[in-house]
Structure 1
Amino acid sequence: MAKEHLIPVIEFCRSHEVEFSFINTLHDFGLIEMVTYQQTSFIDSEELPRLEQILLFNKELEINLEGVEVIIRLLEKVHKIQNEMNMLKNRLDMYERF
């Protein structure tokens, strides 16, 4: 992670009105990456969309963290499968041209 892309967790917590312990729990569940530098915890800016999606599931839809974890893992699998299908489709298109 490049330092210029790091956001202090405490700033994220203030702006999104969540407790630091919630973010720490997400890290413990393996849902987000966090780094600690000079006793300050940071998240990479690339984690923001995922983190905001998790907050939506948890706060707005009132899904517990275990449920959020399952949803996120399933969405990751779907995304991976979609990428594989696109790759295979592109390969097939290439062979069909000949």
Structure 2
Amino acid sequence: MDFLINLMPVVVVFAIFWFLFIRPQKQKQQEHKEMLSKLEVGDRVVTIGGIKGVITVVEEEELKLEVAPEVEIGISRRAVGRKDNENTDITEN
């Protein structure tokens, strides 16, 4: 019985860590994975390296981004950090 009472604080601390850190991180990873699977031509994205561009070609594991007028780069799908919701045009500069 004493063993269960001594184990209780450890279980409570683990539960707190689960709900505050582990569970939200897993949900965020799942949302990012879902976003990557739904990328399509015309989406504005920002890579994990900070490069902004518009998707011009979507292949299974690779994308082509137009980063300037008539300048395209190839990147891995996993290199996309997020969708860019800004309404900026890459031809403005």
Bigger-Rg structure (1/2) = 2
Q: TM-score, normalised on structure 1?
A: 0.31
Q: Name whichever structure is richer in strand by fraction.
A: 2
